[in-house]
């Protein structure tokens, strides 16, 4: 098979896989932002028990391999539920979203916690002087500034989650990398196909990095 013909025949399937990769990354990242924000606030809570559980969460998801977490969610949770008489089977997409969201949320929480700590105590002192409620201060004073300061790190997490989606191929979810594996199994052209897969990943990550730099410049100009 000629190289051009091989690439032309493979590209539609790979682009479909790339669409699923982007969808998986975007949805997982949105959930991770929400969860990571709550974890970051919990890490800075005045209550020791909340800080402890949030610390355990972060240490677990940052300290264990993502691929192990994928297996725990996709195979482990259904196994436990079936043992107690609850028939359950995880859809691959939902298992991937759950695992990636929890994993990236641990990193996002640390990025935001660093952003909050960089603000110092002056913001809180001013808020107390004005008699503002803590929930209002978090939502409208502290977190917006923390997000702005953490933007470069949050952009790195967005790039990271795009690449991390390749690991869910291990459970058979047909994102970009899995599509490449299936094509290689049929064509026996690993170098050409995986090179094309790498180029598509590179395009996606460069696009994400460009978008993040645009946001950084926009917020810095304000």
Question: Does an H or E element contain 150, and which?
Answer: helix 143-164
Q: Single out the residue of 65, 28, 29, 9 nearest to residue 179, CA to CA.
A: 9
Non-local (6+) Cβ contacts of 158 within 8 A are: 25, 29, 208, 212
User: How far is the C-alpha of 91 from the C-alpha of 100, rounded, in Å?
Assistant: 14
Owning domain of residue 36? 3-220
- Intra-chain end-to-end CA distance of the chain, in Å: 55
pLDDT in 10s for each residue of the chain, 222 residues: 577 888 889 999 999 999 999 999 999 999 999 999 999 999 999 899 999 999 999 999 999 999 999 999 999 999 999 999 888 888 999 999 999 999 999 999 999 999 999 887 777 777 777 777 878 888 888 899 999 999 999 999 999 999 999 999 999 999 999 999 999 999 999 999 999 999 999 999 999 999 999 988 887 766
List the CATH number of the domain containing 69: 1.10.3720.10
Q: For the whole model, what pTM was predicted?
A: 0.93
Greatest extent of the chain over all pairs of C-alpha atoms, in Å = 74
Residue 147 burial (C-beta neighbours within 10 Å; 0-12, 13-18, 19+): middle
Q: In total, how many domains does the chain have? A: 1
């Amino acid at each position: 098979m000629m190289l051009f013909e091989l690439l032309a025949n493979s590209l539609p399937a790979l682009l479909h896989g790339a669409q699923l990769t982007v969808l998986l990354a975007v949805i997982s990242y949105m959930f991770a932002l929400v969860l990571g924000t709550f974890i970051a606030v919990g890490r800075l809570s005045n209550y020791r028990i909340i800080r402890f559980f949030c610390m355990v969460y972060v240490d677990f998801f940052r300290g264990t391999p993502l691929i192990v977490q994928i297996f725990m969610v996709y195979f482990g949770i259904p196994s436990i539920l079936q043992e107690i008489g609850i028939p359950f089977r995880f859809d691959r997409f939902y298992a991937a979203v759950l695992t990636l969201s929890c994993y990236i949320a641990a990193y996002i929480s640390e990025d935001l916690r660093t952003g909050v700590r960089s603000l110092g105590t002056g913001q809180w002192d001013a808020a107390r002087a004005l008699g503002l409620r803590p929930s209002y201060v978090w939502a409208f004073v502290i977190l917006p500034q923390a997000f702005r300061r953490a933007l470069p790190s949050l952009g790195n997490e967005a790039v990271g989650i795009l690449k991390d989606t390749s690991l869910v191929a291990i459970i058979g979810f047909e994102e970009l990398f899995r599509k490449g594996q299936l094509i290689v199994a049929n064509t026996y052209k690993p170098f050409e196909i995986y090179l094309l897969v790498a180029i598509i990943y590179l395009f996606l990550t460069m696009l994400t990095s460009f978008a993040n730099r645009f946001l950084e410049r926009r917020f810095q100009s304000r």
